[in-house]
Structure 1
Amino acid sequence: MIPHPAHQPPASARAFPVGAPGSATLPEHVLATGHGTWWTDRAVRPRAIAVTNGRHALLAGDPTALAPADLAPLAGHCVEASARFLPVLAAAFDLMHPWDRMLYVQRADAAVAPVPRGTTVRRLHAEDGPALASAGLTLGVDFTTWGGPEGLARSGHGWAAFRKNRVLAVAWSRFAGSRYEDVACATDPGERRQHLALACIAGLTTDIAARGRTATWSCSRENRASRLLAWTAGFRLLHEYVHHTTGPVSVSGTSNLRAAA
């Protein structure tokens, strides 16, 4: 077996668009950062391809090339694929829940967010990795799209609010592509209602614009708090879509999807 690193995708990766907004930037992010996995139905002239990173998956190609068992590596993921893949996905998993989503693009400047006394909001530096790792459990995130907190801290794609070297809130580019960067944020539950996330987002999106890219925001239609924060940060609705969360695999057998990295 010859391994193929994430920055050397199979030729069929061309099935994914370049320069697309939201989580569609995932393939570009994997290619640029080396974090993630490419999957194909066969080693030579693959007909179906998936790319995964941080429990998110995109699926493209020919769904008739896949048996339900082939999709085992996508268990526990949020999967985006065309409607043509729904029958094989439904056959592959005991649970497959459709999730209505909203995609926003930043069209205006973020509102000014006053920072409380004793709090500093700034870009993450490499040495912030341990503080970010310590905050991860409280914030409920693991930053896996960058390989973990240390990877995000080194990346230059995150801003955080600090008080006495403790991370109170963080905003980061969940996926970074050639035209768009999809933003995520988290706040310590005990530090909410202080506009810390908004201040972090404002700093991050200024950086994104300086890189010549546009910030996007993805959230559940039911998450009113996230939608309100997006609006306040200058994001406006682009379109709505559906992805599917996959539960345990319902069929047995060895998957023909082979990791290419």
Structure 2
Amino acid sequence: MIEISPPDLRALSHWFSTGSPGPATIGEHVTETGIGRWWADQPVQPSAVAVSCAGHVVLRGSPEKLTPDLLAPLAGNRVEASARFLPALGAAFDRLTPWERMVWTLQATPQPATVPHAVTVRHLIPADADAVHALGPDASWLSASWGGPRGLAASGHAWAAVGPSGRILAVACTYFRGSRYEDVAVYTVPDRRRHHLALACVTSLCADIAARGHMPSWNCSLHNRASRLLAWNAGFRLVREYVHYAVGSPVSHGRLSA
């Protein structure tokens, strides 16, 4: 794919459904924040367009002109696309692994979450960037959609459970911010899981999202039981399922010509 300039809102709505939960929020988030990249099969009057952010890609349009070379820049991502793109994706990458996903929206009152007295649940602020970074590589995905720890800490879209030493124990944040829905992500340090810290952070974040006039949504793997249970306890209910595809490395030119 060829990298292109961000489309205007009218062009965005032509290619991507807007104002809906799930992968649609990715295009809106990239348009609003500038974090991510836009792609097309050709710079003028494209027939296929993609948007990428934080390892996720949404691909729309027609696959007719998509060659393996054109699709190669999307390697290593998780691609959400309709079934008509699967032959082109399968020919372009050495691996195409389906992941079943679930989209939830906030529809019920959350379960109460009591946290220890020494723990404070509050907004992340720019001064928390080092503490976000200290969560380590296992949590690096959490800030990727905001450009890294500093971007997440300064975003105004994250809540954290913070211990008395200033250590972050759990974080809930808007991962992708759409025009109507904000997709929620959460991380808890391994030694503080099952302490209701994530639920407390999610509940506070959802109140914030509602105050902005938006609706919280949740996106997780069908097989992630812990995420599904947290979503349910936080008041989210399932609205639909879909599949995205983890793509591997581009196929070699030798294989293409064989």
**Considering the TM-score relative to the shorter chain, is it more than 0.5?**
yes
Amino acid paired to 2:83: A
Alpha-carbon distance in structure 1 between the residues aligned to 2:140 and 2:150? 16
Q: Do the aligned partners of 1:15 and 1:60 also contact (CA within 8 Å) in 2?
A: yes
Alignment-derived partner of residue 94 in structure 1: 94
Alignment-derived partner of residue 64 in structure 1: 64
Alignment-derived partner of residue 113 in structure 2: 113
User: What is the CA deviation profile of residues 12-38 of structure 1, one whole-angstrom value per residue up to 9, with x for unaligned ones?
Assistant: 773111112122100000000010000
| 1:61 positional shift | 1.0
Alignment-derived partner of residue 31 in structure 2: 31
Alpha-carbon distance in structure 2 between the residues aligned to 1:204 and 1:55? 23
Alpha-carbon distance in structure 1 between the residues aligned to 2:253 and 2:8? 30
Amino acid paired to 2:235: G
Q: Would the alpha carbon gap of residues 70 and 251 (structure 1) be closer, same or farther in structure 2, given more than 3 Å must change?
A: farther
Alignment-derived partner of residue 123 in structure 1: 123
| 1:223 positional shift | 1.1
Q: Would the alpha carbon gap of residues 225 and 211 (structure 1) be closer, same or farther in structure 2, given more than 3 Å must change?
A: same
Identical-pair percentage: 51
| 1:58 positional shift | 0.3
Alpha-carbon distance in structure 2 between the residues aligned to 1:93 and 1:220? 22
Q: Would the alpha carbon gap of residues 95 and 4 (structure 1) be closer, same or farther in structure 2, given more than 3 Å must change?
A: closer
Q: Do the aligned partners of 1:102 and 1:239 also contact (CA within 8 Å) in 2?
A: yes
Q: Give matches, 1:151-230, under 5 Å.
A: 151-163=151-163, 164-230=165-231
Amino acid paired to 2:171: V
| 1:141 positional shift | 3.1
> 5+ unaligned residues in a row in structure 2: which ranges?
none
Amino acid paired to 1:215: P
Does 15-24 or 231-240 show the bigger shift? 15-24
Q: Would the alpha carbon gap of residues 6 and 148 (structure 1) be closer, same or farther in structure 2, given more than 3 Å must change?
A: farther
Alignment-derived partner of residue 48 in structure 2: 48
Alpha-carbon distance in structure 2 between the residues aligned to 1:121 and 1:130? 18
Amino acid paired to 1:168: L
User: What is the CA deviation profile of residues 54-83 of structure 1, one whole-angstrom value per residue up to 9, with x for unaligned ones?
Assistant: 000000111002112211111111100111
User: What is the CA deviation profile of residues 185-219 of structure 1, one whole-angstrom value per residue up to 9, with x for unaligned ones?
Assistant: 01000111111100000000000111111111111
Alpha-carbon distance in structure 1 between the residues aligned to 2:50 and 2:10? 10
- RMSD of the TM alignment (CA)? 1.9
| 1:117 positional shift | 2.4
Q: Do the aligned partners of 2:142 and 2:187 also contact (CA within 8 Å) in 1?
A: no
Alpha-carbon distance in structure 1 between the residues aligned to 2:83 and 2:171? 35
Does 124-133 or 46-55 show the bigger shift? 124-133
SS in 2 for 1:159: strand
Q: Do the aligned partners of 2:142 and 2:186 also contact (CA within 8 Å) in 1?
A: no
Alpha-carbon distance in structure 2 between the residues aligned to 1:202 and 1:12? 31
Q: Do the aligned partners of 1:69 and 1:252 also contact (CA within 8 Å) in 2?
A: no
Alpha-carbon distance in structure 1 between the residues aligned to 2:251 and 2:15? 28
Q: Would the alpha carbon gap of residues 212 and 10 (structure 1) be closer, same or farther in structure 2, given more than 3 Å must change?
A: closer
Alignment-derived partner of residue 251 in structure 2: 250
Amino acid paired to 2:218: W
Alpha-carbon distance in structure 2 between the residues aligned to 1:10 and 1:178? 13
Q: Would the alpha carbon gap of residues 60 and 66 (structure 1) be closer, same or farther in structure 2, given more than 3 Å must change?
A: same
Alpha-carbon distance in structure 1 between the residues aligned to 2:21 and 2:142? 23
> 5+ unaligned residues in a row in structure 1: which ranges?
254-261
Question: Aligned pairs, how many?
Answer: 251
- RCO (CA 8 Å, sep 6+): is it higher in 1 or 2? 1
SS in 2 for 1:57: strand
| 1:233 positional shift | 0.3
SS in 1 for 2:121: strand
Normalized against structure 1, the TM-score is what? Answer: 0.91
| 1:225 positional shift | 1.1
